[in-house]
Structure 1
């Protein structure tokens, strides 16, 4: 059932070619059974990489809990976490967003990204759970006795060598970030690309970057543990 649902969503994304939110009759029973309006109006997402292991996201699509499709051909730049060397550091909020904004929690997301260290394009698809939606609607328990409200309104996707992806919801207090365990997360590349075939910021190939080469010198691929 999960694989069938994922296939239906993937085919919908492949058929859609428009920008901006549009309504589609695609709501899971769980999404349709509740009001997932966010108290803060909209959530934002960002992408980050380990230090000196850059990647760039070229395209993204999100279906929210109301069945709206968001298509992002222009995205905020991918950040780099200087503390993530050899393994992931605690995920943190890294500013606001100009483009990466959605009004309701995500049912499904797919994005295309180039790993400059792997010199290949990846396609990552994610099916989110109702537990994630509920967390995004629930105030963060803070150490100030609840004198102000904070929310899990910022989703960060970590992109690492070997096509490894992790997802977190950091809050503003910089506490340890809860990691999201989606219903399904898949990353594919090469001949297995579907939506992301031909979607790249490097159509002429990947140049060797001196700073990357200096960093990986003497190290073994994938230059750390990114699970």
Structure 2
């Protein structure tokens, strides 16, 4: 796992250099100017994302420190149409190749580091049109990605298709580590003094069995 993280770190470094130096046009054409990502959690099982790095398919690396935070209402299992946080800051210009991010699982009282490796299947889904729900003669695109954060460090990824159920990105390779395996996320937390459950969390999990659902 450490070797994979080192390779990713080198890729992000090279991506940052190429992004600054390159003046070549995009090699992966898209029918939209931007795509967006949003985080979601189960109801009353909150998490916070503290740092995110994205390497796109053209080799550009981006770092996000101001991140719109998760919101969610799923109970027991993920919904077919998941609610999620805003995307004011969570946006990118080019198709994603790798996303790595740090997050505090408040319900687990620990820091996780998750890495998402995307495939051609994701890029195809994001660039292939489907009939607009309101105007069937117009094209719409799946340019909203949802990332679910659940107890046990479970991470899921979908694309939103308006008017339909969220589309799971099952080909995405997801790795999550914590504790001594943390690298980029070591010491990165919004809770340096420890985690406390709110009264709402305490009430919700009362007499329920961890991890409070099938995620």
Q: Given the two structures, how large is their TM-score scaled by the length of structure 2?
A: 0.87
Partners of 2:211 and 2:189 lie apart in 1 by: 22
Q: Which runs of 5+ in 2 are unaligned?
A: 20-25
| 1:106 aligned to which of 96, 99, 117 | 96
Secondary structure of 1:211 counterpart: helix
Which stretch of structure 1 is more off in the superposition, 132-141 or 188-197? Answer: 132-141
Alignment gaps of 5+ in structure 1: 26-33
Displacement of 1:195 = 0.4
1:61 pairs with 2:53: yes
Q: 2:159 maps to what in 1?
A: 169
Q: Residue 76 and residue 183 in structure 1: after superposition, are their counterparts in 2 closer, same or farther (change >3 A)?
A: closer
Aligned to 1:73: 65
Taking a change above 3 Å as real, the CA distance of residues 76 and 95 of structure 1, as seen in their structure-2 partners, is closer
d(CA) in 1 for partners of 2:199, 2:86: 30
Task: Report if aligned partners of 1:92, 1:171 keep a CA contact under 8 Å in 2.
Answer: no
Alpha-carbon distance, 1:96 to partner = 5.3
Give the match's secondary structure for 1:165.
strand
Q: Deviations over 1:142-176 (max 9, x none)?
A: 56784121111000000000000000001222x11
In structure 2, the CA distance between the partners of 1:57 and 1:184, relative to structure 1 (3 Å rule), is: same
Task: Measure the CA separation in 2 of the matches of 1:202 and 1:95.
Answer: 20
Q: Which residue of 2 aligns with 1:140?
A: 130
TM-score with structure 1 setting the length: 0.83
Corresponding residue SS for 2:63: strand
Q: Is the 8 A contact 2:103 2:112 kept in 1?
A: yes
Contact 1:128–1:182 (CA under 8 A) maintained in structure 2:
yes
Tell me if the contact between 2:48 and 2:69 (Cα under 8 Å) persists in the aligned partners: yes
Say whether 1:210 aligns with 2:210.
Answer: no
State whether residues 126 and 182 of structure 1, in contact with CA within 8 Å, keep that contact through their aligned partners in structure 2.
Answer: no
1:183 CA drift (Å): 4.6
**1:188 counterpart residue number:** 177
1:119 aligns with 2:119: no
Task: State the partner residue of 1:47.
Answer: 39
Runs of 4+ residues over 6 Å off in structure 1: 3-6
Gap change, CA 1:44 and 1:124, over 3 Å in 2: same
Distance 1:95 1:78, change over 3 A: closer
Q: How many residue pairs were aligned?
A: 208
1:24 aligns with 2:18: yes
Change (3 A) 1:58 1:4: closer
- The alignment status of 1:178 with 2:167, answered yes or no, reads yes
Shift in Å at residue 91 of structure 1?
A: 3.3
Instruction: Please tell me whether the aligned partners of residues 130 and 141 of structure 2 are also in contact (alpha carbons under 8 angstroms).
Output: yes
Distance 1:201 1:74, change over 3 A: same
Aligned CA-pair RMSD: 2.5
Contact preservation (8 Å) 2:70, 2:84: no
Partner residue of 1:89 out of 73, 79, 101:
79
Instruction: Please say if 1:157 is aligned against 2:156.
Output: no
